Amino acid sequence: MPHKLLFVCLGNICRSPSAENIMNHLIAQAGLSDRIICDSAGTAGYHTGSPPDRRMAIAAQKQGIILCGSARQFIRSDFEAFDRILAMDRDNLADMLALDQTGKHRDKVRLMCDFCTRHTLREVPDPYYGGTEGFNQVIDLLFDACEGLLADVTNELAISQ
């Protein structure tokens, strides 16, 4: 049974699809594509069906990552479907936890930056209303977080075998 990761931001066109595609890239490099599956979603449905933001795609492409996928909204059943749910910021975290009234899935939900090893930011900033540098910063931050997350998941998978 593959380990399933869900990356969540607000609109699912900038941060979470970037995290999903960076993570898929790192998983493929590690030869673990059959063991770890990724998806992404947004807490809001503003962009449902839209491709990743063009500016985000350009920033990702500079680092060798092609952003694919289309936006969807986070739904309550995602709690059951995924092993880990990674929020880009505290607002996304709070919005998701509001759907989990019982707190049953609280231990599955973490902030993405909890896995950073090089950066000290606690949240992935939303680059949507900023300039090019914000998009580049998000890609750099997400590479760091995804590398840390992959190490954590790989460690967990090794233990559970």
Catalogue the active-site residues: 9, 15, 126
The token pair that represents 69 in the structure block: 């996928």
CA–CA dist 102, 33 (Å, integer): 33
In the block, residue with structure tokens 């969807």:
72
Distance from CA of residue 70 to its chain's centroid? Answer: 14
